[in-house]
Structure 1
Amino acid sequence: MSGIRATEIEALRMREVLGHFPSGVTVVTGVDGAGPAGFACQSFHALSLDPPLVCFCVGRSSTTWPRIRAAGRFAVNILGIGHEELSRTFARSGGDKFDGVDWSPSPLGSPLLAEAVAWVDCRISAVYDGGDHEIVVGAVTALEAIGGEPLVFFRGEYRALA
């Protein structure tokens, strides 16, 4: 069976249709010799309870991901209502995304954002090919829910749960 090629399914159409599936908003962070690094990520989810694993996908064009990958560990910061600007900060390329952002180190040393409603600390367990993305599996070593309502992204806009 042959696969469907990108020219057969337009990227904008795929984004439009899949935008009907709401997702949470996270910031994946890590630290290397150059300091803290992070990027906004909507493709995060639990993968396994036993062993405890999570998963996220990151575009191959990311300039931040190679720094985090080289560190071998990361934290996922789950954002809450009112953190749209924080999400936009980590969604942009370049610049010091941590300028003015309050954070502390996780048990593994990755940045935990003070504004997050929950966090998950992980070691990189595996990285798989996913077309123009990489699929990252993290072995959970620590996690905490601080509380609050999550920030949701749906059809190109930030939302709150009704």
Structure 2
Amino acid sequence: MNLSDKGHDCVEWLGTSYCRMLSSEDTGGTMSIVDSVGPPDSGPPCHVHRDANETFVMLSGEAEFWMAGETVVKQAGQSIFVPRGIEHTFRVIGDKPSRHLVILTPGGFEGFFYEMASRSLRIPEDMEAVTEAAQRYHLEFTGPPLAAMQ
């Protein structure tokens, strides 16, 4: 399903699509919801959100989550809550993409995906610019992607 065909604000960054279902502006900054589809083996470097809680609601596929030293696999119908200030990352596993909702409280971080896509920044090639932008969204990178941690 292509959500941009349904009027949602969608971008693609590093092979993952991000569609704003509910923006920070829609909620007075209280929260945002992003529908994300990532290909197998995709996932961000290890990081910490300094000002936002992050909840993943798995809609399809599987992902391995690493949070504060613990690893867990989540699949369709399951979710995981990552409190602000907790180091974490994830990786899509298996041979199918993973579709999941990313719920951020408060909202605002969703702008990071849109900025990265609009600037066509890459990881690791453009990591200095990615890190500089991340600071504006209260995000701190703390290590490599999950695949490199294993």
Q: Same fold (TM over 0.5)?
A: no
Point out the structure with max Rg over C-alpha: 1
Taking structure 1 as the reference length, the TM-score comes to: 0.27
